[in-house]
Every structure is written in C-alpha cells, then in structure tokens.
C-alpha cells in the first residue's frame, strides 16, 4: 500500500547535517544548523545547566507525573518575565496567557493553530527571507503566508522602506511575524527607532505582532537588550504573541523547551485564550515534557544560577563576535574581492554571506564546508582552527 510513496526532499537546514555526516573528510566543517560549538568544535552543555540537573536528580520529591496541558506553571511565569521584563504591566495585570511548548517551533505551531481557529484574519506576513521552517509551520496550521520585504541584497542591510511599504498595504488585522532579535538568516535587525516606527504603523493598522524569540541574549549578550523590540509592543497595552526558545540561549536544543505567550487586553480574555490553547495542545501531544522545563525553571528562579547563566551566555555571544572579526580579517588578508564588512555588522548566530548556491555547492565539494543553500553560515560552528580553511574556501569560491 505504500509502494507509490514519493521520496521527500531533505529539510533545507537539517538536511545539511545529513550531508555533512555522510562526508568522510577529516577537515569537514558543518556551518549549516544554528547550534553552538566550542573552540574545539564540540557541543556545549552549560555548567549552570549541569548544576540544575544535579539538583533535580538529587531531589527525592521530584516525580515523573504528567504536567498539566499548559506545562510547568513556574516555568511559564518565569518565561513570561524573562521576555516581557519583571516589571511588565501586562504580567502584573494577569493579561498574559503562557503555555509551555516544544521549543520555538512548537510554540509557533501552537500559536498559529490557535490563530487559525480563533482569530478573524488568516493572513500572516513573514519577512523575505526568513527561517526556512516558518512558511511550513504557518501553512500547515491553516494560515495564509505572504511576504514583506526585509533584506536588501545591495546594502546587505535592512530594506526598511520596503518593509514599511509592504506592511502599510497589508489588510487590516493581518498577523505579522517579527524576529525579536538576531534575524535568521540575515543577522540584520531594525534599530530601536525603526522598531518604534514599525510599532506605530502596525498599531495604526491593527496588525497583530507575532514575535519569534529564538536568540534572546545571543544578539547583544544582554537578555534585556535583546527583548526590547517585544517590550516596546507590550508597553503600549496592545495584543501580541511571543514564541520563546531555550535551545540556543541555554543550549537545551534536544530538550525541546520553549513557551508561547499571548498578551491580551484583560485578564478575563487571557483566561479564555488559555482555555483555547489547551484545546490546541491536548490532541497534538497531550502535555509537554517535564525535564527541560524543570532545568529552565530551576535556573530562572535562583538568582545565583541566573547570574551564572548570563555570564555563560555572554561568553557564547562574545565568542561568536570574535569569530566574525577573525573571519573578516582572514578575508582581508587574502585580498578576497568584495566588501565583507557585513560579516562584522550582522548580529546573532548567522552571517548571510551573499554567496550563491553554486558557490555553496563548490565549497561543500572542494572544501567539505557545509552551509545552507542561501549562503547562510552559522558563526557559532566556527573556531580559530577552522577559520583559515573557511576563508580559503570563500576566496576560492569568489575568485574561481
Ligand atoms: C537553524 O535555523 O539552524 C535553527 O533554528 C535550527 C533549526 O531547527 O532549523
């Protein structure tokens, strides 16, 4: 009965790891998936995460019961405070419905299914370009995906004019997906003044903001600074959605821990919104896993551990910034044609190199360096050891 099933293509991001794993070369480098590596090229488990896990393991009162459909209450409250700020009026007024979800993707999926069922406008505007999974998540949830201009390949910066124009012509009430910080894949973010203009425009047209916050703390190294865009929108008292992931900022990739928050106009509405979120979650995966959320809650509620986390997070962000500088210098040294200053200007985990798909294929074949076909490289996958090799590859791809 299954003999006619077609072979599906690999995922545009996770498929890069599949190709990388098949390559026997000892010099191969995986710059595809956005996953942090140490200078030695190894995955990193934060010390503070290990400590939290020890505490959890040694606590005899901890059991493996089901969590509620909405997840761990402590985790939800602390996650909302992390993104909206401890002093957020929306939190104090109990206007936020937060549910624990399966990392950023799960939060986006639950949020968009909720909107498809309960919100009058089904169109969601997403940036061009955006994370490869966004259009898939929103389409399968029942929303209609449209794009707004975001990136200008000419300047390798923000196409702010195009962005405002496209959002101005969006239908009243449309949903708009915004990357809270460290835009993936471009590494290009609006300035705070530009965010304010975006906010004014969106509020004047009744557009509904849906933030994807996968890199809080990774862009600037400061958790508060990286949440400013979201807080700007919440401070005006209007509605918004925010999907949070702890994959990158706590290194909890495989634990699949994240949260969806929906900021409402009143606590009464928030209660009803939460009841509808439960109807989305229960038939999908019943209730979320307990371990990762317990780690996060342990860290967020203990001021010493929280402080330790911010230091480890800053160290990861700083290492990425140093990789940017080293790669830029290596290309300058080689006299590689072109302006490469965007490598040091862009922020977050990725550089949108401007390399085309032929050059990407060439670098995988000749240099065993793997990246997504759009020329995005994960700076977090680089080390001082691999930078000369990457610079040689880029130089050869550009001059070849
Ligand atoms: C990425 O963009 O590389 C990450 O968000 C990982 C993923 O799931 O695609």
Q: What are the extents of the domains in the chain?
A: 14-44+306-394, 73-301
- Within 8 A by CB and 6+ apart from 253, the residues are 35, 103, 247
**Spatial contact of 85 and 231, defined as CB atoms under 8 Å apart:** yes
Q: Give yes or no for a cis peptide into 185 (omega within 30° of 0).
A: yes
Distance CA 250, CA 214 (A): 11
Report whether residue 16 contacts ligand 1, using a CB cutoff of 6 Å.
no
- Within 8 A by CB and 6+ apart from 267, the residues are 93, 94, 95
Report whether residue 184 contacts ligand 1, using a CB cutoff of 6 Å.
yes
Report whether residue 13 contacts ligand 1, using a CB cutoff of 6 Å.
yes
* Dihedral, CA of residue 73, residue 74, residue 75 and residue 79, to nearest 10: 110
Cα(3) to centroid of ligand 1, in Å? Answer: 32
Report whether residue 240 contacts ligand 1, using a CB cutoff of 6 Å.
no
CA-nearest residue, atom 9 of ligand 1: 13
CATH number, domain 14-44+306-394, options 3.90.1150.10, 1.10.357.10, 2.50.20.10, 3.30.413.10: 3.90.1150.10
CA-nearest residue, atom 1 of ligand 1: 34
**In Å, what is the CA distance from 65 to each residue of 185, 294, 300?**
39, 13, 22
DSSP assignment letter at 225: G
**Spatial contact of 149 and 159, defined as CB atoms under 8 Å apart:** yes
Output the pLDDT for position 400.
84
What are the phi and psi torsion angles at 355 (to 5°)?
Answer: -70, 140
- Within 8 A by CB and 6+ apart from 83, the residues are 180, 213, 216, 227, 230, 242, 244, 261
CA-nearest residue, atom 4 of ligand 1: 34
Output the pLDDT for position 248.
96
Query: Which atom of ligand 1 is the closest one to the Cα of 372?
Result: 3
Region class of 71: left (phi > 0), else alpha (psi between -120 and 50), else beta:
left
Q: Which of 33, 256, 374 to mutate to test the pocket of ligand 1 (most atoms within 8 A of CB)?
A: 33
Distance CA 114, CA 242 (A): 13
Query: Which atom of ligand 1 is the closest one to the Cα of 245?
Result: 5
**51 closest CA partner among 306, 314, 249, 311:** 306
Scanning the structure block, which residue is given the tokens 């072109």? Answer: 338
Digit-by-digit pLDDT tens for the chain (400 residues) are 999 999 999 999 999 999 999 999 999 999 999 999 999 989 999 999 999 999 999 999 999 999 999 999 999 999 999 999 999 999 999 999 999 999 999 999 999 999 999 999 999 999 999 999 999 999 999 999 999 999 999 999 999 999 999 999 999 999 999 999 999 999 999 999 999 999 999 999 999 999 999 999 989 889 999 999 999 999 999 999 999 999 999 999 999 999 999 999 999 999 999 999 999 999 999 999 999 999 999 999 999 999 999 999 999 999 999 999 999 999 999 999 999 999 999 999 999 999 999 999 999 999 999 999 999 999 999 999 999 999 999 999 999 8
Query: Which atom of ligand 1 is the closest one to the Cα of 105?
Result: 8
Output the pLDDT for position 273.
98
**Tokens linked to 35:** 């996953």
User: Which are the catalytic amino acids?
Assistant: 131, 212, 248
Output the pLDDT for position 220.
87
- Within 8 A by CB and 6+ apart from 235, the residues are 89
Cα(88) to centroid of ligand 1, in Å? Answer: 29
Output the pLDDT for position 214.
97
CATH number of 73-301: 3.40.640.10
Output the pLDDT for position 221.
85
**Tokens linked to 201:** 């425009």
Output the pLDDT for position 236.
96
**In Å, what is the CA distance from 133 to each residue of 129, 198, 221, 253?**
11, 24, 25, 16
**Spatial contact of 172 and 204, defined as CB atoms under 8 Å apart:** no
Cα(350) to centroid of ligand 1, in Å? Answer: 10
Query: Which atom of ligand 1 is the closest one to the Cα of 185?
Result: 2
**Tokens linked to 102:** 């399966």
3-class state of residue 100 by DSSP: strand
Cα(35) to centroid of ligand 1, in Å? Answer: 8
Distance CA 75, CA 100 (A): 7
Cα(257) to centroid of ligand 1, in Å? Answer: 14
């Amino acid at each position: 009965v299954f003999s006619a099933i077609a072979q599906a293509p690999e995922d545009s991001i996770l498929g890069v790891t599949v190709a990388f794993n098949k390559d026997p070369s000892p010099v191969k480098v995986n710059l595809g998936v956005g996953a942090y590596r140490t200078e030695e090229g190894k995955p990193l488990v934060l010390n503070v995460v290990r400590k939290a896990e020890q505490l959890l393991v040694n606590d005899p009162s901890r059991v493996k019961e089901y969590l509620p459909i909405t997840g761990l209450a402590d985790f939800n409250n602390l996650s909302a405070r992390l993104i909206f700020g401890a002093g957020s009026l929306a939190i104090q007024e109990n206007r936020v419905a937060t549910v624990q979800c399966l990392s950023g993707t799960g939060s986006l999926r639950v949020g968009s299914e909720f909107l498809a069922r309960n919100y009058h406008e089904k169109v969601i505007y997403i940036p061009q370009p955006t994370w490869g999974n966004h259009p898939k998540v929103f389409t399968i949830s029942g929303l209609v995906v449209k794009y707004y201009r975001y990136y200008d390949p000419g300047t390798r910066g923000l196409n702010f004019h195009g962005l405002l124009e496209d959002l101005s012509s969006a239908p009243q009430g449309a949903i708009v997906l915004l990357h809270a910080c460290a835009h993936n894949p471009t590494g290009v973010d609006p300035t705070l003044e530009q965010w304010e203009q975006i906010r004014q425009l969106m509020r004047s047209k009744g557009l509904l903001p849906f933030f994807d916050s996968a890199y809080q703390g990774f862009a600037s190294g400061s958790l508060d600074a990286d949440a400013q865009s979201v807080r700007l929108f919440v401070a005006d008292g209007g509605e918004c959605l925010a999907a949070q992931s702890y994959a990158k900022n706590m290194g909890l990739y495989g634990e699949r821990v994240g949260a969806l928050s929906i900021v409402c106009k009143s606590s009464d509405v928030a209660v009803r919104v939460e009841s509808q979120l439960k109807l989305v979650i229960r038939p999908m995966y019943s209730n979320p896993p307990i371990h990762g959320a317990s780690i996060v809650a342990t860290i967020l509620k203990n001021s010493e551990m929280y402080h330790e986390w911010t230091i480890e997070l800053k160290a990861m962000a700083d290492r990425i910034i140093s990789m940017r500088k080293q790669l830029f210098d290596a290309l300058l040294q080689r006299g590689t044609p072109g302006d490469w200053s965007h490598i040091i200007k862009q922020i977050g985990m990725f550089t949108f190199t401007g390399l085309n798909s032929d050059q990407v294929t060439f670098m995988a074949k000749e240099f065993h360096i793997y990246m997504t076909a759009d020329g995005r490289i994960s700076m977090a996958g680089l080390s001082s050891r691999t930078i000369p090799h990457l610079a040689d590859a880029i130089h050869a791809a550009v001059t070849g």
